[in-house]
Chain A
């Protein structure tokens, strides 16, 4: 979400995006922590909780991802390259989280180690998206705030 084309974007959609977009990231980070704790403790409390965190993170991701899809690609010409890159990183992250939801449907220690890897990949991809967007953003003339 960058400044150049804000005028042509719906303010409401943008506000909704800004509100909802951080939520899945928080859930996925928590899921990663829980998956790591389960892998080392084998106490099922953690893996069941991680399954919920991952699933709820996915539900919260639906609306911001759809808004982002429209913003970045309709029309594609107005989006900066970094926005497109951020889109693809998030798409991959969601794909990993969807696979992870199925991995988390396994019983007990059957989820390890895939649960840890997939949670880590999800968090890493979204993190890279945030970092490159912020990097690009900070470099824009005069514009540290959208």
Chain B
């Protein structure tokens, strides 16, 4: 046991020493917007790296919020909460999961990476379940917790269409008949359709129903950083699938999106938007993760190119024909911020500046020093297009010295009162951000 700890400490120290040399030169905000500056791609002996140690939140400790807002904890002690869904009754579903751990260790690097990841708290065990949160009428503090569905298989996306609840496990969509008011799912559920389920290097399956409920859109991540597991394993990967809600038949709606972790309908135009995690290990300032509208039949570059036609030489054979077709994403969020949650705000109860735009939760990445992300930002939209730099709304998930990680934001949703809920998978908490009561003391 001691030996194992010593070996781990040595591995972490060695990596820290070797990775110490490369630092990022852009702030995320400087690399945001429609035209982010892109430095030249680099190759490394050890890529830039900074992995704060996961500690969780101390009692009464909470993230900081922007002026005019307040934050409270509505659930704690969860098992790696990832996604949220508000039901018509106001109850909130919390999907608790982590990767299925099915990716085989096929290179020495994966062994080291696993050790580093576990240290950060991002390797925490997922509950493979959905918990229902219900606000107890007239009571302050944490909401009631009810275990709603158990024994899922690394679930992520969840959507309710009429009385049908769709849950996207890592390898399939399961559907349940939902009875309003129940605190435990009474329906055993039936398999609805398969999803790409091998390796699951990127395991999350984001899920979004069309407004009329006839289609489901699924964000499917790539099976590698940049094809190192072989192109064969990228079949129907790195894309947005469109599933027919009647038949379960699916087709590729848009491709070349490395890891589309969140999907949403832009309210002004009704168009489909996605957040995506771009590739690693070609620089602390490459490649900016992005927020983009998703065009039907569009190809967004992965793996052959990034941000339009910037060719990635790590991919063989190269495909100039596909690179020529690659669409440049609409809006950069900053390099390695790792967006994992997208929510277009439709409510009215938050201050007016937050109306009509999108909140994006940034989970943070191992592949950057200094850290970037580890916050929830707001992206203003005007006429259906993002505008200006992302504005930090909820911060303080990583400590100021960047050595410890208290939490990390993932799923976003608004509750029945229009407050923003945040699933925090390192802090195992759900946070609720609302407009500050007039006269209440500032929460920072």
Query: What is the CA–CA distance of A9 and B45 in the complex, to the nearest angstrom?
Result: 39
From residue B156, how far is it (CB to closest CB) to chain A in Å? 24
Q: A45 to chain B: closest CB distance in Å?
A: 8
B269 within 8 A of A: no
User: Is the pair A104, B108 in contact by a Cβ cutoff of 8 Å?
Assistant: yes
If A107-B224, A107-B226 touch, does A102 touch B315 (CB 8 Å cutoff)?
Answer: no
Any B CB within 8 A of the CB of A42:
yes
Whether B313 lies near A110 (C-beta < 8 A) is yes
Q: Collect the chain A residues with CB atoms within 8 Å of residue B316's CB.
A: 42, 108-109
Tell me which residues across on chain A come within 8 A of B46, comparing CB atoms.
102, 105
Is B139 engaged at the interface, CB distance under 8 Å to the other chain? no
Q: Which A residues are within 8 Å of any B CB, using their own CB?
A: 42-45, 48, 51-52, 55, 99, 101-110
Known contacts A108-B316, A109-B315; is-contact A101 B229 (Cβ 8 Å): no
Q: Which residues of B contact A107 (CB under 8 A)?
A: 224-228, 281, 314
User: Known contacts A52-B108, A110-B281; can you find 13 more A-B pairs with CB under 8 A?
Assistant: A44-B229, A45-B230, A48-B106, A51-B109, A104-B108, A105-B107, A105-B109, A106-B44, A106-B314, A108-B227, A108-B316, A110-B313, A110-B314
| Contact residue among A48, A55, A99, A108 (Cβ-Cβ distance under 8 Å from B315) | A108
Is there contact, CB below 8 Å, between B228 and A108?
yes
- A102 surroundings in chain B (CB, below 8 A): 18, 45-46
Tell me, in angstroms, the Cα distance from A42 to B230 when the chains sit together.
9
Question: Is B317 at the interface (CB under 8 A from chain A)?
Answer: yes
Chain A proximity mask over B189-230: 1 for CB below 8 Å, otherwise 0: 000000000000000000000000000000000001111111
Nearest chain-A residue to B227 (Cβ)? A108
Complex partner residue of A42 from B112, B229, B317, CB under 8 angstroms? B317
Scan residues 26-83 of chain B and give those whose CB is less than 8 A from a CB of chain A.
43-46
3 closest A-B pairs (Cβ-Cβ)? A42-B316, A102-B45, A107-B228
The 7 sampled A-B contact pairs (Cβ below 8 Å) are: A44-B228, A48-B228, A104-B109, A106-B43, A107-B314, A108-B316, A109-B316
- With A and B bound together, what is the CA distance between A110 and B312 in angstroms? 9
Question: Given that A42-B316, A42-B317, A44-B229 are contacting pairs, would A110 and B106 also be in contact in the complex, using a CB cutoff of 8 Å?
Answer: no
A101 to B108, Cβ gap below 8 A? yes
Residue of B whose beta carbon sits closest to that of A56: B108
Residues in B with CB closer than 8 Å to A106 are 43-44, 281, 314
Bound complex: CA of A44 vs CA of B228, how far in Å? Answer: 6
Pairwise interchain contact A109-B230, C-beta atoms closer than 8 A: no
Please, how many angstroms separate the alpha-carbon atoms of A105 and B316 in the complex?
17
Question: Is B228 a contact of A55 with CB atoms below 8 Å?
Answer: no
Complex contacts, B226 vs chain A, CB 8 Å:
107-108, 110
- Nearest CB to that of A52 among chain B residues? B108
Among A102, A104, A105, find the residue whose CB has the most chain B CB atoms closer than 10 A.
A105
